Each structure stands twice: as C-alpha cells, then as structure tokens.
Amino acid sequence: MRDTRESRLLLVLLIAIAFALITVDIRGGQESPVDGARQAAAAVFGPVENGVASAVDPIGNAIGAVRDSGERHNRIAALEQENAALKARLGSDDRNRNRLRELDAMLKTAGAGQYGIKGAEVIAIGAAQGFSWTVTIDVGARDGIRRDMTVLNGSGLVGRVTTVGPSTSTVLLANDPDFTVGTRMEKTDELGFATGQGDRPLLVQLLNGKAKVNKGDRLVTFGSQADKPFVPGVPVGEVVRVDPAGGGLTRNVYVRPYVGFTKLDIVGVVVQAPRSDPRDMVLPQKPKPAPTVTVTVTPPPPDGQQAGRQQGEAQQKPDGQAADRQTPDGQAADRQKPDGQAADQPNQQADQQPQDQGDATP
C-alpha cells in the first residue's frame, strides 16, 4: 500500500474503531456485545493455532533441551567428582587402616626385642642399582640413619642400609643374591649363613653338616660384632626344605622368609641395639594344634547274651521284683529240675492229692 493521505486516515480510523471495541468489550464484561464475534473468531482460528503449535512444539522442545543440556552436563560432572572423592576417601581409609596394622605389628616386634627404631616409609622400589633387590625409604642422615643399620618390620628382617642421603636411604633387601646374614636355629642354636635367592626361599648353610633340622624349624639373626650390620634375635624365616646330609662340613636348608618383599610399606631402622640378646623372644607364637576328637564306639552284645537279657526281663513279677530272687540259703527260688519243671511244683501237687483222693472214695 502506498503511503498516501487516504491510507493514513484509514489507519487512524481502524485504530479508533479498535480502541472503541476494546472499551465496549471491557465495560460489557460477560455480556459484551462482541462476545459472539470473539467466539466465532475462536472457532475459525483455533484449529489454525493448534496446528501451528503442534508444528512449533518440537522446535521449542529441542531448544529447551539444548538449553538444559548444559545444566545437566554440569550436574553429572559434579556427581562424578563427588563419587571420585568418596572412592578416594574410602581407599585412603583402607590404606590407613592397613598402615596402622603394620605400624602396630612393628612396634610390638621392636618392643619384644628391645630395639630402638626409627619409623620410615618405602617411597621407591628397585632404584637405579641394576637388578638388585632394593628399596628407598624416606629417612636419612638428618634422621640419625647410618650405613649398615638393620631394617625390620612387624614380620621380621627386611634388610640393611647400604646408602644414606640427607633425607633418604637405600636398603638392600634380605632376598638379594648379594645379601648374607648370620642365623641361629631356634632351640638347637645351630649356626649358619643365609643368602638371598630373589623370589625363591633363602639358602642357609649350616656350619654343622650333621645338624638335625626339620621342616618348620625357625631361624633368627645371630647378630654382628658391635651390632652392625645386624642386631641379634630378629626373625628370619621358617625351614621349608632340607637337603639330605651328604657327609660334608656344611648342610643346606631352605628357608621361607617371614617378610613379603614385594609389598613393603612401613619399616623401621634399628638405631639402638638391645642391651642383651633377645634370643627367641621376638619369634611369633606357634599356632596351637587343633584338639583331636576321639570317638568311642561300644559294640552291641552277642545274640545269645541279648536273648538271655530279654528273657530275664520278661520273668519279672508284676510288683517289679525279679523272679530269680534268692532265698536266705543263697539258692534261687525258681531253680528248675532236670525235667524242666519248677522247684515249687511238688508242693502244689501235695496240696491237690488229698482232695483228689476224697473225691475218688465211693
């Protein structure tokens, strides 16, 4: 439409009519004169509005989903972080409980042997010393650690200190092939030297080639001069195999160490040796054997004795007294004659004879 004077007047007129209808509709309320026109318009344009809404709703839903996806993603990310934090907390609690158990066992071992120890944590395994079995601990010269000190944990001998730095130290483990420690057998006091064999049992050469050794015997450290590098009485392990005596000067036995060298965590460096040799006091208590259960089975009596027992029970009187109760002279009252009749039958026959004779008299 062209912008002319007539079109402007027409627009103003339509606007005035619209305002007038709105005013009349508002004042009329429910009885508005334009209510019929409104209903007719609703009947005409209602289906069109529904169709347009149906066509537009998926687009609106998609836009809403895109808008909400960011918030949902943030919520999922927050939940994942909370789950990770809970898992880490649970894992740390389990690890802390395990470390507390290890620390408690180590303190009990140190107390039993009267060792003065410095607690440490294993922070590295297998440092740059080639293929040797070593660990690095988080204590060093600043903590009073010196070379050739004994290292132990709650289970027994771990190794000895070989290198000391300002704040860390290197420990050569007892299962290293270059590791050797003097040992003493429990009770028999047989001496020997234990050598590491990696992941295999320790090889112990006993100085007495005729020593009597059995599977399950236990060993402790013999101790070194001036208690370096080894203090006495630290548990070493348990015999698992004994080579037959070949008449040599020494005898080989194989010992399973008490310490698990692949799962070390809390250890202690012995900084003060005991005043006296603790001997076998640090060894763990042997498990008590399970009690043997003894079952006694009583065999049933032979058939003849059982039959006689049943017959004797059947001959008891109603008053509960046995039929074979003895008389004062020690003889049984019901002792039978050779013909099988009871001993009291002649008396009954004697009582019946007079009556029978009287009846027979004519």
What's the pLDDT score for residue 231?
96
What's the pLDDT score for residue 121?
93
Query: From CA 226, how far away is CA 95, in angstroms rounded?
Result: 37
Fold of 106-272: Thrombin, subunit H (2.40.10)
Q: Are 190 and 211 in contact (CB under 8 A)?
A: yes
Q: Are 202 and 236 in contact (CB under 8 A)?
A: yes
Q: Pick from 105, 134, 142, 103: which is nearest to 119 by CA?
A: 103
Query: From CA 321, how far away is CA 331, in angstroms rounded?
Result: 16
β-pairing, 235-242 vs 251-257, is: antiparallel
Q: Residue 92 — left, alpha, or beta (φ > 0 → left; ψ -120 to 50 → alpha)?
A: alpha
Query: From CA 89, how far away is CA 70, in angstroms rounded?
Result: 29
What's the pLDDT score for residue 182?
96
Return the amino acid letter for 28: G
What's the pLDDT score for residue 86?
66
Q: Where are the beta strands (DSSP E) in 139-216?
A: 150-152, 157-164, 169-173, 180-185, 191-197, 200-206
Whether pTM > 0.75 for this model: the answer is no
The burial class, CB within 10 Å (0-12 / 13-18 / 19+), for 258 is buried
Query: From CA 203, how far away is CA 242, in angstroms rounded?
Result: 10
What's the pLDDT score for residue 334?
47
Residue 296, token pair as written in the block: 């006694």
β-pairing, 116-125 vs 266-272, is: antiparallel
Query: From CA 174, how far away is CA 89, in angstroms rounded?
Result: 34
Q: Which residues contact 38 (CB under 8 A, 6 or more apart)?
A: 25, 32
Give domain limits for the chain: 106-272
Q: Pick from 97, 167, 162, 101: which is nearest to 134 by CA?
A: 162
Parts of the chain with a pLDDT under 50: 128-129, 317, 320-362
| Omega before residue 278 within 30° of 0, cis | no
Q: Residue 339 — left, alpha, or beta (φ > 0 → left; ψ -120 to 50 → alpha)?
A: alpha
